[in-house]
A and B are shown apart, each in its own frame.
Chain A
């Protein structure tokens, strides 16, 4: 049976992990390669790296980091942040990333989805969608959640699938950082509207939130950052809890 995936997300700036990752067992908690090895050995199914610096001059640093990661890591990983062209995607994929993720650029230039998908295959492209609830409806936001697009979330999911996305990473801005659980209804609605896998992101605070995610929705994966980084819920412990609920877990 296909397993539900647990995915830690690491924020990267200038080739270093940021947001105060705290592992006493690590010599250098800011070293992405060391942290990635730690997570993969502890049962992470995939890793996502989001480069929050991603300026032009930093992109080379990012590619070098990806090269190092690819040498060390024996599970799949996605890299995103600041990818604006096929060339940007190509550099990261050739450096060894399994997938790239694009967010604002997909909205501002939807043809980029098709270009990357045609060039490298849809399996290499994750479209990240930041959504926010306004009234009773969910809309797509871009530029780190600062700019509304007015596009309904489900419509955008269907559109990017049609354009060639291989997977969706849906982050609820209402839930992100709240630790009150994932945005179950809308994430499930998007997943049901498309035939590609959906990763839920934003709001994970404890193991119960992942149980809800995998028993109340059909999404393929759950992504989280701080609860893993601060070792509030170690991945191995989380996976054992999910197994006791008969959720298919590796």
Chain B
């Protein structure tokens, strides 16, 4: 069973729809045991970091997510919350990745919204995906580049398009909204 973490962040429906389009069934849940028992966990999210972290703590989900041992995929805010710290609301996050999450300086349009290509693809999640592939991004905060960075995107400055450490995978972009390229990435995760 694939479990999607239910919390106070948007776009969970889109992720569920994408998983089901690929022929997998999934549940959306905030029950600790269901998350712990799932084969894979997806941690999506569009929203604000501090209120999301507060909600996860109130539900005791912060400790649950940190200690998951099956493959976990964080998406967008999900990737940012897996980092150490976010400037958004000065939020201490889950600390799986060492990187800090910072706000874009508005040297170009912010949010970074639309399709962008990525570099240095270094993850099993990119199997079968062309280096010219574009992914859909919508965000005003970014994770710095660090040792867990598994692909880089350049907008205003280079940042972590995706990250990976042990069983934790994460993308800043939205694979569920990134057409066939995004579906390939999700499929690669589901097949891990």
For chain A, give the interface size range: 20 to 34
The docked-state distance in angstroms from the alpha carbon of A124 to that of B109 is: 16
B169, chain A: closest CB distance, angstroms: 20
> Which residues of B are found within 8 Å of A221, using beta-carbon distances?
114
B57 at interface by CB-CB < 8 Å:
no
Chain B residue with Cβ nearest A196: B109
The docked-state distance in angstroms from the alpha carbon of A250 to that of B132 is: 9
> Which residues of A are found within 8 Å of B108, using beta-carbon distances?
2
Chain B residue with Cβ nearest A167: B113
Interface residue count on the B side (C-beta < 8 Å): 37
B95 at interface by CB-CB < 8 Å:
no
> Which residues of A are found within 8 Å of B115, using beta-carbon distances?
2-3, 5, 45, 250
Question: Which one of B17, B21, B134, B183 contacts A96 once the chains associate, using CB atoms below 8 Å?
Answer: B17
Contact mask for chain A residues 53-87; partner B; CB cutoff 8 A; 1 contact, 0 none:
00000000000000000111011100000000000
> Which residues of B are found within 8 Å of A72, using beta-carbon distances?
21
The answer to whether B114 and A124 touch across the interface, beta carbons within 8 angstroms, is no
B60 at interface by CB-CB < 8 Å:
no
The answer to whether A98 and B11 touch across the interface, beta carbons within 8 angstroms, is yes
Question: Which one of B17, B18, B109 contacts A197 once the chains associate, using CB atoms below 8 Å?
Answer: B109
A95, chain B: closest CB distance, angstroms: 7
A230 at interface by CB-CB < 8 Å:
no
B102 at interface by CB-CB < 8 Å:
no
> Which residues of A are found within 8 Å of B10, using beta-carbon distances?
93, 120-121, 124
Contact sample, A vs B, 26 pairs, CB 8 Å cutoff: A1-B117, A2-B108, A2-B112, A2-B116, A2-B155, A40-B179, A45-B114, A70-B13, A71-B21, A74-B21, A74-B182, A75-B177, A76-B177, A93-B10, A96-B13, A96-B14, A98-B11, A121-B10, A123-B46, A123-B111, A123-B113, A123-B139, A124-B46, A166-B113, A196-B109, A220-B113
Chain A residues engaging chain B, CB cutoff 8 angstroms: 1-3, 5, 40, 45, 70-72, 74-76, 93-96, 98, 120-124, 166-167, 195-197, 220-221, 250
- 7 tightest CB-CB pairs across the interface, nearest first? A3-B115, A250-B115, A250-B134, A195-B106, A96-B13, A123-B138, A197-B109
